[in-house]
Amino acid sequence: QVHLQESGPGLVKPSETLSLSCAVSGDSISRGNCWGWVRQPPGGGLEWIGDVCHTGTTTYNPSLKSRVIISLDRSTNQFSLTLHSMAAADTSIYYCARSPGWYRIDFWGQGTLVTVSS
Amino acid sequence: QPALTQPPSASGSPGQSVTISCTGTSGDVGGSDYVSWYQQHPGKAPKLIISEVSKRPSGVPDRFSGSKSGNTASLTVSGLQAEDEADYYCSSNAGGNIPGYVFGTGTRVTVL
């Protein structure tokens, strides 16, 4: 069974950079699939942030593209999210996820709440 | 890209059926074979219940079914059970020259 686990700070100051990691077990990030991030503000809906495929190719939500980087760390079987210039509107639960293609997400992490506040 | 439009809420009694709509445009839902549906219980991560418009992943009860007509996709939950009370989100590829996914606004299903 594939398992994803997010890690990172729960609190970030405005204008700072968020860095989250996702540890993957039960699958190899180098073998196939795309690995991405989805966020959900408290009480709100889902927003796709972007993903990186096993080839290293990245795709980002156009609304976030100028601030986001998603990358693979093949040595640790993890992938990461970097989001610059954090603002209060970025306060959300951040989920890491696996997409096997065909625009579907079949495995999700449990999510981690990131609050932006001074 | 703007979110796909879903009704905020839907409800039904146990054993009844409920259908949730997901309306987009010809560029996303209307032109896509890749509409998915996710179920999310409070405090939990979303769970894939329908992919490619109407395909059920292994382990998803056949009470859940998906379809599409024009720019609107639909999820039907038949034989409602208490555990079906959750939020439901559709998604599609964003379409056109826009990369990635777009999600629906979400529908809260209540079992009366």
| Residue segments in chain B with a per-residue pLDDT below the cut of 50 | none
Residues of A in contact with B57 (CB under 8 A): 106
Percent of chain A with pLDDT over 90: 96
> What per-residue confidence (pLDDT) applies to B31?
87
From chain A, which residues contact B within 8 Å (Cβ)?
A: 38, 45-48, 50-51, 59-63, 95, 102-106, 108-111
> What per-residue confidence (pLDDT) applies to A100?
92
From chain B, which residues contact A within 8 Å (Cβ)?
A: 1, 3, 32-34, 36, 38, 44-48, 51-52, 57, 89, 91-93, 98-106
Judged by CB atoms closer than 8 Å, whether chains meet at A104 and B92 is answered as: no
Amino acid code (one letter) for B20: I
* DSSP E strands, chain B: 9-12, 18-23, 36-40, 47-50, 64-69, 72-77, 86-93, 101-103, 107-111
Mean pLDDT of A34-60: 96
Q: Is the pLDDT of residue A39 over 90?
A: yes
Residue B29 DSSP SS3: helix
Percent of chain A with pLDDT over 70: 100
Query: Which residues have CB under 8 Å from B16's CB, separation 6+?
Result: B79, B80
